[in-house]
Amino acid sequence: MKLSVTFRTMNVDNRLNKICEEIMIKARNILLPVLIMLLSASPSLAGSCGADRCWGAVAIGKNGQSWSANYRSQQGAINRVRNKCNGPCSTIKTFYNTCGAIAKAPSGAWGWAWHNSIEVAKSEAMAFCMDNGRNCSPRAWACSK
């Protein structure tokens, strides 16, 4: 009789061990991919400003130009260009998680663009400027990612 009880106890223990093992395997198979996804996604969700949207701005005025990058808010990016422009900046354009550029002609014509590539943003800003003016040149550019 004692042998039988021990045998049954071992059977119950083995079943419990198998059930626990199956639960652990299922939990690992579900939780591990979720954990990996969260850990790998979190750096890509936050830009270098520490937020999911990094704001930047480019600006031109009568006497100068300015740029800002990697601000947590649009207003922060705007405030930076206003404070750094040589005199009042009359044209301010904002962008987030990309690059922005603004070009200006001596006549006052201007153009601006945004793109993932700073070179493309500058080129497109120049093209928009030349639609209305001549001798355009890039005045301010920045990337906020």
- What tens digit of pLDDT does each residue of 61-83 get? 988 999 999 999 999 999 999 99
Query: Which of 20-24, 104-108, 114-118, 136-140 comes out lowest in average pLDDT?
Result: 20-24
Residues 27 and 94 in one domain: no
**In which domain, by residue range, is 85 found?**
55-144
Q: 111: which residues sit within 8 A by CB, 6+ positions away?
A: 102, 103, 124, 125, 126, 127, 128, 129, 130, 131, 132, 136
**Domain-located, residue 84:** yes
Residues 130 and 71 in one domain: yes
What is the percent of the chain with per-residue pLDDT over 90, rounded to a whole number? 57
pLDDT band at 102 (very low <50, low <70, confident <90, very high): very high
pLDDT band at 23 (very low <50, low <70, confident <90, very high): low
Q: Judge whether 88 and 105 are in contact, CB under 8 Å.
A: no
pLDDT band at 34 (very low <50, low <70, confident <90, very high): very low
**Number of structural domains in the chain:** 2
**Domain-located, residue 124:** yes
Residues 131 and 89 in one domain: yes
Residues 76 and 107 in one domain: yes
Residues 98 and 120 in one domain: yes
Residues 72 and 137 in one domain: yes
